Chains A and B, each alone.
Chain A
Amino acid sequence: MSIGAKNLSKGARELIAFRIGDQEFCVNIMIVREIRGWTKATPMPHSPHYMMGVINLRGAVLPIIDLSLRLGMKPAEPNPRHVIIVVQIGEKIVGLLVDAVSDILSITDDNIQPIPEVSAEFVRAFARGIIAVEGRMICLLELDALVQGNESEAA
């Protein structure tokens, strides 16, 4: 668990929920820098398949990750309705391509249920819990492994 999550574990925490396909996920709102519309990315040679390329974020070169592919689901077919959630992970800033932002949740640790044991790869790497909200199931993601994964794979 990240330091940020630990600090917040005492009381309520705020999460941003977003949709990929028919599933919902959420991340800690503290790591989200901004949310912006989809712009076409410049593909990069010799990059992992989920790396969509880079875009210009006010002068900085921002890599865009197809989160759907990264989580082992089918590749996104980006259209102008897709959004990019810009998150800060450690020193680096990356953009996550998702279908739409759905909600901002304010929950306490009691609301987070443990993850049932399944064999999906993404569960081990990113999933940290499950939250039930009004009959919906939202999966809490921890993205630290996203950037570290990049480094070890590309190095």
Chain B
Amino acid sequence: MDMNEIKEIFFQECEEQLAELESGLLKMNDGDRDPETVNAVFRAVHSIKGGAGAFGLDDLVAFAHVFETTLDCVRSNKLDPGPEVLKTMLKSADVLADLTAASRDGGTVDPSRTSVLVKELEALANGQVPAPTAEAPAPAPAPKAAAPAPKPAAAAATPKPTDESGFQPVPFSFDDFGGEEAEPAAIEIPLCDVIFKPRPELYSKGNEATLLLRDLSRIGEMSIYCDMDALPPLDQMDPEGAYFFWKIAIRTEKGEEGVRSVFEFAEWDCDLEVKVHEVSAEGSDEDELPMQPVPFDLSALDDTDEDHDHHEDHGDHHQEDIAAAIEAAKVATAVVSMAAAAPQAAPVQAAAVNKPAAPAPAAAGNAESSGSAGANPTIRVDLDRVDRLINLVGELVINQAMLSQSVIANETSGATTINTGLEELQQLTREIQDSVMAIRAQPVKPVFQRMSRIVREVADMVGKSVRLVTEGENTEVDKTVIDKLAEPLTHMIRNAVDHGLEMPEKREALGKNPEGTVKLSAKHRSGRIVIELSDDGAGINREKVRQKAIDNDLITSETNLSDEEIDNLIFHPGFSTADKITDVSGRGVGMDVVKRSIQALGGRINISSRPGQGSTFTMSLPLTLAVLDGMVVTVAGQTLVVPLTAIVETLQPEASAIHSFGASQRLISIRDSFCPLVDVGRILNFRSAQANPTDGVALLVESESGGQRALMVDAIQGQRQVVIKSLEANYTHVPGIAAATILGDGRVALILDVDAVVAASRGQALGGDGALAAAS
């Protein structure tokens, strides 16, 4: 693995850590005082710092260090994370994110921003820490001391004499990276617990544990312990066997990656567990570390004959070694210098051979390490490949359904094995489909998280106090939609904070909470994702909007507009109501850009506003590749799918419930309220005359715009999960139809666009209707 690759991984991890950091801080901001949350925040900053140190990213390390120091005060309850403290911390998280981005992309971060925050953070840390000094925050040196600390616990756990002075950590120069740092000693280096268990194959392939351990010692300061509990009596021993394993505590800036890379060529032939400890000021970690330190002399290892032909005679070696070790153990103290015995790991073994009666702390340490062997690994895959897979799986589902149908049609009576097989196949295909879909669908959370930063920044800039509430962040939507959502959302959030919310004094005067609230929510609806952004600000000032529109020649002063129409004027290109052009918004490119980007995604955007109470923007976007739960219905002999989310209830209308209303309208009374009846077959032009409502089924639907309609269909076939297929790929958008799907019989069924149908029933023509009529 070359350095750039490792660096790339580091930055990816940074992104995750930054997200973790931010969500943790936000939780704390909401009053969460769970130590785990604080720890998670601390860990995130610490990991970034550790990684950055390994790559010599000094700016990042320096800032992360100060940040971490302050966080440590919070962790040790020396500093109460009040709102002011958290504000600084959130800002620091933003700067940390910027610094990370700058390190990756080669940009720079305004040093004044950093230095201001560094001062603030230091002030916070110093305010509470006893005997504070200007540049050396109290907790910093402690972790350094923690490195050799495994002693006390281990000594207590073993009967061995283990004189404490016997512990000699191997000094190691860090000149290679970050050598010119002002205070390298103050930088905590992550502690890794490594358990290295060679299998016999390791030796038979000519690998040598000693060499690996020596390589490991080169990347950091380490203490090593050999576990020999598995060593059988001599007469039962397999000379080709591997009986020892090593537990190593290494303090390395290269982190887990670095440790693993040492074992890169041997990892198939050994069991390797690497666990990165967070560095803590106290010895708590060490309590769990039944590590018996053994002096490890690097120079001795270097003397080891590298050309030694290990894979021929390693078995003999082992026997010799052990014999020697046992001999040595009789006379020597438990701690034997590596240099004292001739080959390989024998002395280390000797130390352990002597203590068979000792309570084996190995198991405990082992279990503990294996429990957290590492985070979920991820791979990056080309989206095209995923799409191809999704298409193929869709085909598989359809084929499987067709197969089932033809088996049923051919009536294979008694052939239960076929039926059982088919059922299993069905289950498998369903599972495959679900897993494949899960690959592409992603929660909107990352975008929402980014928004909280925007809110903070803008609020800061315009001097307002704003709280962002998010809801439904786990709503899943196609990756491409998520990616394209960030920009319009950013615009809208800025607008909401800058224009929507009033200044705190004004809010107070109005009897509102001086802290404004911006709410961002996501949910699935009618086979689409609906994202709502609302603020509790002043709402749209319609007089002002109208006047502005007149000033900008968008409308004339005579134009008579409904409230809704006035609200929608803000989507007009070149419209901005801000009295003064601010840094934040007001360049007049905001809302029309938003509208266009939403439309480009096949979405719609609506605004509703109530003076004095705020405005709500509702965006509805397609889920493109997502699956949809639909109700399969028959209309005029055609099979249609109605998104289940749109349906409120289904009912069988009785003649007495149907009331004519005007020339062609009919209303249906449902529990004493009247709801317009819409014949789907008529709207879609599948039939020329209205069907008799009592022959069919009414689906009570609720459209995005809130209105209820009873959609008349002929019959309900059932509920099904369907794969959404694009009509636009080979054809064009069809009014009233959201997309297509393929049913079990292999035929295409259309998915109804409930909103468009409801809109059409209000008298708005389905788009393109007139043009089509002319063409035919």
A residues at B contact (CB < 8 Å): 39-49, 53-56, 58-63, 92-94, 150-151, 153-155
CB distance from B166 to the nearest CB of A (A): 70
Q: Which residues of B contact A58 (CB under 8 A)?
A: 395
CB distance from B429 to the nearest CB of A (A): 14
Tell whether, in the assembled complex, residue A45 and residue B731 are in contact, meaning their CB atoms are under 8 Å apart: no
B747 interface residue (CB < 8 Å to A): yes
Tell whether, in the assembled complex, residue A59 and residue B731 are in contact, meaning their CB atoms are under 8 Å apart: no
Tell whether, in the assembled complex, residue B748 and residue A45 are in contact, meaning their CB atoms are under 8 Å apart: no
Q: Which residues of A contact B566 (CB under 8 A)?
A: none
B730 interface residue (CB < 8 Å to A): yes
Q: Which of B395, B729, B732, B748 contacts A42 (CB 8 A)?
A: B748
CB distance from B764 to the nearest CB of A (A): 14
**Given A55-B748, A59-B394; A45-B737 close (CB under 8 Å):** yes
Stretch at the interface among B10-18, B153-161, B447-455, B767-775: B767-775
Of the candidates A44, A49, A151, the one having the most CB atoms from chain B within 10 angstroms of its own CB is A44
Tell whether, in the assembled complex, residue A154 and residue B771 are in contact, meaning their CB atoms are under 8 Å apart: yes
B168 interface residue (CB < 8 Å to A): no
**Given A54-B748, A60-B725; A46-B740 close (CB under 8 Å):** no
Q: Which residues of B contact A45 (CB under 8 A)?
A: 683-686, 734-737, 750
Starting from the known contacts A54-B740, A59-B391, A61-B730, 11 additional A-B residue pairs (CB-CB under 8 Å) come to A42-B750, A44-B731, A44-B737, A45-B735, A46-B768, A59-B398, A59-B725, A61-B731, A61-B748, A93-B730, A154-B775
Q: Which residues of A contact B602 (CB under 8 A)?
A: none
A-B contact pairs, 29 of them (CB 8 A): A39-B746, A40-B747, A44-B750, A45-B684, A45-B685, A46-B736, A46-B769, A48-B775, A49-B776, A53-B748, A54-B727, A55-B747, A56-B398, A56-B746, A56-B747, A58-B395, A59-B391, A59-B394, A59-B725, A59-B742, A60-B725, A60-B730, A61-B742, A61-B748, A63-B731, A92-B731, A154-B733, A154-B768, A154-B772
Q: Which of A41, A48, A56, A60 contacts B729 (CB 8 A)?
A: A60
Tell whether, in the assembled complex, residue B686 and residue A94 are in contact, meaning their CB atoms are under 8 Å apart: no
CB distance from B701 to the nearest CB of A (A): 17
B513 interface residue (CB < 8 Å to A): no
Q: Which residues of B contact A56 (CB under 8 A)?
A: 398, 742, 746-748
**Nearest-neighbor residue (CB-CB) of A55 within chain B:** B748
Tell whether, in the assembled complex, residue A154 and residue B732 are in contact, meaning their CB atoms are under 8 Å apart: yes
Tell whether, in the assembled complex, residue B735 and residue A46 are in contact, meaning their CB atoms are under 8 Å apart: yes
Q: Which of B398, B639, B747, B772 contacts A46 (CB 8 A)?
A: B772
Q: Which residues of A contact B686 (CB under 8 A)?
A: 43, 45
Question: Shortest 4 CB-CB distances between A and B: which pairs?
Answer: A45-B684, A153-B775, A49-B776, A63-B731
The complex places the Cα of A54 from the Cα of B726 at a distance, in Å, of 11
B766 interface residue (CB < 8 Å to A): yes
The complex places the Cα of A49 from the Cα of B398 at a distance, in Å, of 29
Q: Which of A39, A48, A55, A61 contacts B772 (CB 8 A)?
A: A48
Of the candidates A39, A56, A62, A151, the one having the most CB atoms from chain B within 10 angstroms of its own CB is A56
Q: Which of B726, B735, B771 contacts A61 (CB 8 A)?
A: B726
Q: Which residues of A contact B766 (CB under 8 A)?
A: 46
The complex places the Cα of A61 from the Cα of B732 at a distance, in Å, of 11
B715 interface residue (CB < 8 Å to A): no
**Given A47-B772, A56-B742; A150-B731 close (CB under 8 Å):** yes
B638 interface residue (CB < 8 Å to A): yes
Within 8 A of A (CB), among B394-419: 394-395, 398
Q: Which residues of B contact A40 (CB under 8 A)?
A: 747
CB distance from A6 to the nearest CB of B (A): 25
Tell whether, in the assembled complex, residue A62 and residue B730 are in contact, meaning their CB atoms are under 8 Å apart: yes
CB distance from A113 to the nearest CB of B (A): 32
Q: Which residues of A contact B392 (CB under 8 A)?
A: 59
Q: Which residues of A contact B79 (CB under 8 A)?
A: none
**Nearest-neighbor residue (CB-CB) of A88 within chain B:** B730
The complex places the Cα of A49 from the Cα of B769 at a distance, in Å, of 13
**Nearest-neighbor residue (CB-CB) of A44 within chain B:** B734
B432 interface residue (CB < 8 Å to A): no
Tell whether, in the assembled complex, residue A61 and residue B727 are in contact, meaning their CB atoms are under 8 Å apart: yes
Tell whether, in the assembled complex, residue B732 and residue A155 are in contact, meaning their CB atoms are under 8 Å apart: yes
The complex places the Cα of A46 from the Cα of B394 at a distance, in Å, of 27
Tell whether, in the assembled complex, residue A61 and residue B729 are in contact, meaning their CB atoms are under 8 Å apart: yes
The complex places the Cα of A96 from the Cα of B375 at a distance, in Å, of 53
B749 interface residue (CB < 8 Å to A): yes
Tell whether, in the assembled complex, residue A63 and residue B730 are in contact, meaning their CB atoms are under 8 Å apart: yes
**Nearest-neighbor residue (CB-CB) of A49 within chain B:** B776
**Given A46-B768, A48-B772, A56-B747; A92-B729 close (CB under 8 Å):** yes
Task: Kindly supply a per-residue 1/0 record for chain B positions 302-328, scoring 1 wherever the CB is within 8 Å of any chain A CB and 0 otherwise.
Answer: 000000000000000000000000000
Task: Kindly supply a per-residue 1/0 record for chain B positions 680-713, scoring 1 wherever the CB is within 8 Å of any chain A CB and 0 otherwise.
Answer: 0001111000000000000000000000000000
Q: Which residues of A contact B748 (CB under 8 A)?
A: 41-42, 53-56, 61
Q: Which residues of B contact A43 (CB under 8 A)?
A: 638, 686
**Nearest-neighbor residue (CB-CB) of B747 within chain A:** A42
The complex places the Cα of A14 from the Cα of B635 at a distance, in Å, of 45
Q: Which residues of B contact A44 (CB under 8 A)?
A: 727, 731, 734, 737, 750
Tell whether, in the assembled complex, residue A92 and residue B747 are in contact, meaning their CB atoms are under 8 Å apart: no
The complex places the Cα of A60 from the Cα of B117 at a distance, in Å, of 56
Within 8 A of A (CB), among B544-566: none
The complex places the Cα of A63 from the Cα of B749 at a distance, in Å, of 13
Q: Which residues of B contact A54 (CB under 8 A)?
A: 727, 731, 740, 748
Task: Kindly supply a per-residue 1/0 record for chain B positions 742-771, scoring 1 wherever the CB is within 8 Å of any chain A CB and 0 otherwise.
Answer: 100011111000000000000000101101
**Nearest-neighbor residue (CB-CB) of A45 within chain B:** B684
Tell whether, in the assembled complex, residue A92 and residue B730 are in contact, meaning their CB atoms are under 8 Å apart: yes
Q: Which residues of A contact B683 (CB under 8 A)?
A: 45
The complex places the Cα of A49 from the Cα of B776 at a distance, in Å, of 6
Tell whether, in the assembled complex, residue A153 and residue B395 are in contact, meaning their CB atoms are under 8 Å apart: no
Within 8 A of A (CB), among B321-362: none
Tell whether, in the assembled complex, residue B730 and residue A155 are in contact, meaning their CB atoms are under 8 Å apart: no
The complex places the Cα of A45 from the Cα of B730 at a distance, in Å, of 16
Q: Which of A39, A60, A151 contacts B732 (CB 8 A)?
A: A151
The complex places the Cα of A43 from the Cα of B772 at a distance, in Å, of 15
**Nearest-neighbor residue (CB-CB) of B736 within chain A:** A45
**Given A61-B726, A61-B740, A155-B771; A46-B684 close (CB under 8 Å):** yes
CB distance from B264 to the nearest CB of A (A): 42
Q: Which residues of A contact B733 (CB under 8 A)?
A: 154
The complex places the Cα of A25 from the Cα of B12 at a distance, in Å, of 59
Tell whether, in the assembled complex, residue A153 and residue B772 are in contact, meaning their CB atoms are under 8 Å apart: yes
Q: Which residues of A contact B394 (CB under 8 A)?
A: 59
Tell whether, in the assembled complex, residue A48 and residue B776 are in contact, meaning their CB atoms are under 8 Å apart: yes
Q: Which residues of B contact A53 (CB under 8 A)?
A: 748
The complex places the Cα of A61 from the Cα of B748 at a distance, in Å, of 7
Tell whether, in the assembled complex, residue B685 and residue A46 are in contact, meaning their CB atoms are under 8 Å apart: yes
Q: Which residues of A contact B639 (CB under 8 A)?
A: 42
Of the candidates B683, B742, B749, B768, the one having the most CB atoms from chain A within 10 angstroms of its own CB is B742
Tell whether, in the assembled complex, residue B391 and residue A47 are in contact, meaning their CB atoms are under 8 Å apart: no
Q: Which residues of B contact A55 (CB under 8 A)?
A: 747-748
The complex places the Cα of A45 from the Cα of B683 at a distance, in Å, of 9
**Nearest-neighbor residue (CB-CB) of B392 within chain A:** A59
